[in-house]
Amino acid sequence: MALRFYNTLSQRVEDFAPLHDNVVRMYTCGPTVWNFAHIGNLRTFTFVDILRRWLRYCGYRLDHVMNITDVDDRIIRESLAAGRTLTEYTEEYTKAFLEDTGALRLERPERLVKATEHIPQMVALVRRLIDGGFTYSSDGSVYFRIASFPGYGRLSHTDFSGIRAGVRVDTDRYDKADARDFVLWKARKEGEPSWDTEIGAGRPGWHLECSAMAMEYLGETLDIHAGGVDLTFPHHENEIAQAEAATGHTFARFWLHSEHLMLDAQVMSKSLGNFLTLRDLVAQGNKPEAIRYLLSSVPYRKQLNFTFDALKSADTAIERLRNYKLRLDTGKFPAGESEKLAARTAEALKRIEESLDDDLNTAEALGAVFEYIRETNTAMDAGEFPQGNAASALDLLARFDSVFDVLRPTVTGGALADAEIESLIAERNKARKTKDFARADQIRAELLKRDVILEDTKDGVRWKRK
Ligand code: AMP
Ligand code: ZN
């Protein structure tokens, strides 16, 4: 079966292939850098990471753009309150965001772009909309007239035809009940940051940023546009209106939305005050890779309830995966190769691939891996796992880990666990066998830095703590 995704636009699961060549043109909405990201935000970014990695696994190249929203209502409010310039304020939280996503091993998109560095592109888009008759001005601000765009509501599957024309909304974030003509360009306000442009002095509305930057880098039609489910309305509905009114073409073919992370049966959010940040969880001793595992273990279209028990289970699951890899790396197995086991390995890999092809069903993929591990561990215990099957089992793990990325321990300042040391030594032995002495030396140095000393003896490698 082919790769397929649930498309919010059609409300159906559709086979996916990019429009041009082998390149997937993808835009995902990035963070608003007004504060630290919470792990709800990071669930959405983890989903995007799994999506990226799976597309590449399928053989596609990526041109992925993600924005950093570094000007919006909340940022202006907070930076004014802190008595800092917009740039000073947003740089701090941009850095924090990159640290957090780095700790979670989220790949950097091909282009990470800042809203404030694309004001001319935004102004040009507003110009096109003004010229096309989709806007009106009031008190120096420019609004999008939603009655002028018949497709309005198509993404969120809502009928907005009954709403009163000419009623406006100035804030960036609002509910469906407040669907109004939305602001494209906000007139300058005393004391707030603004830009002098041909459409007047002011600043962009949040929705405008994404349409302008997406089209700047990816052209008028994207293959995939993604974000958290709360962005469907109004943000993505408005993005479509702005882009399609200007170009007359489909803005994005596939719209993917990830469900919320919940805490105590409520959506995790800053405004409700029920949130956890990655840095707090790590400071409490939780491993970033366990958080990554937890966030990616539930398929992205299902709500995920955060609990500390679930986080503990994620940690245990990773330990099982690592111990299994260690056993494959270092275990002594009888000579030979079993055809039956080889077929079992191929079947497990196929199940992993089919699960992820099925709208990124990560839970199914994990189920397939653990079933395989259980069965082959039993075979190993019984002396029925021959050496000749180890390479393909390791290959399966490596393929799995190219998407889930949890096998490698995070290098923190703290002491390494014995299993982590053994695993690094096994990797060093392998490097030496293949004459990759640079890697072997690097591992020795890494271990030394963590206070572990290696001794090469005639019986093999011994290690001790300093
Ligand atoms: P923001 O920085 O507020 O623009 O949000 C960044 C991303 O996090 C957006 O894609 C939101 O949809 C997403 N998001 C916000 N809250 C949650 C949550 N509780 N669970 C999952 N994603 C969320
Ligand atoms: Zn956006």
pLDDT in tens, 397-456: 999 999 999 999 987 666 777 777 888 898 898 888 888 898 888 889 888 888 888 988
Closest CA to 371 of 395, 347, 399: 347
pLDDT in the model for residue 460:
83
Alpha-carbon distance 299 to 321, whole Å?
A: 20
Alpha-carbon distance 67 to 112, whole Å?
A: 6
- What's the whole-number mean pLDDT along residues 254-280? 95
pLDDT in the model for residue 352:
98
Closest CA to 249 of 1, 3, 19: 19
- What's the whole-number mean pLDDT along residues 279-298? 97
In testing the pocket of ligand 1, which one of 32, 44, 67 has its CB within 8 Å of the most ligand atoms? Answer: 44
Locate 441 and state its tokens.
């030396």
Cβ(43) – ligand 1 distance below 6 Å: yes
Cβ(92) – ligand 1 distance below 6 Å: no
Q: Which atom of ligand 1 is nearest to 228's Cα?
A: 12
- What's the whole-number mean pLDDT along residues 84-102? 97
Is the separation of the CB atoms in 318 and 287 below 8 Å? yes
Alpha-carbon distance 97 to 251, whole Å?
A: 28
Using DSSP bridges, classify how beta strands 4-7 and 12-15 pair: parallel, antiparallel or unpaired: antiparallel
pLDDT in the model for residue 413:
61
* Cα separation values, 121 from 86, 225, 299, Å: 20, 19, 36
Q: Which atom of ligand 1 is nearest to 229's Cα?
A: 12
Considering the chain, what percentage of its residues have pLDDT values greater than 70?
99
Q: What is the CATH number of domain 18-267?
A: 3.40.50.620
CATH 2.60.40.1260 for domain 307-404: no
In testing the pocket of ligand 1, which one of 39, 41, 270 has its CB within 8 Å of the most ligand atoms? Answer: 41
- What single letter denotes the amino acid at residue 267? V
Cβ(345) – ligand 1 distance below 6 Å: no
Considering just the CA atoms, what is the radius of gyration of the chain in Å? 26
Q: Where do the structural domains in the chain lie, given as residue ranges?
A: 18-267, 307-404, 418-465
What is the residue-averaged pLDDT of the chain? Answer: 95
pLDDT in the model for residue 283:
94
Alpha-carbon distance 283 to 273, whole Å?
A: 19
Is the separation of the CB atoms in 404 and 296 below 8 Å? yes
* SS3 (DSSP) at 153: coil
- What's the whole-number mean pLDDT along residues 67-95? 95
Locate 446 and state its tokens.
């890494």
pLDDT in the model for residue 412:
67
Cβ(261) – ligand 1 distance below 6 Å: yes
pLDDT at 194 over 90: yes
- Ligand in closest contact with the CA of 259: 1
Bin 376: left if φ > 0, else alpha if -120 < ψ < 50, else beta. Answer: alpha
pLDDT in the model for residue 414:
64
Cβ(68) – ligand 1 distance below 6 Å: no
Alpha-carbon distance 105 to 290, whole Å?
A: 11
- Ligand in closest contact with the CA of 67: 2
What distance separates the 2 farthest-apart alpha carbons in the chain? 85
Between the CA of 351 and the centroid of ligand 2 the distance, in Å, is 34
pLDDT in the model for residue 466:
82
pLDDT at 246 over 80: yes
Is the separation of the CB atoms in 176 and 165 below 8 Å? no
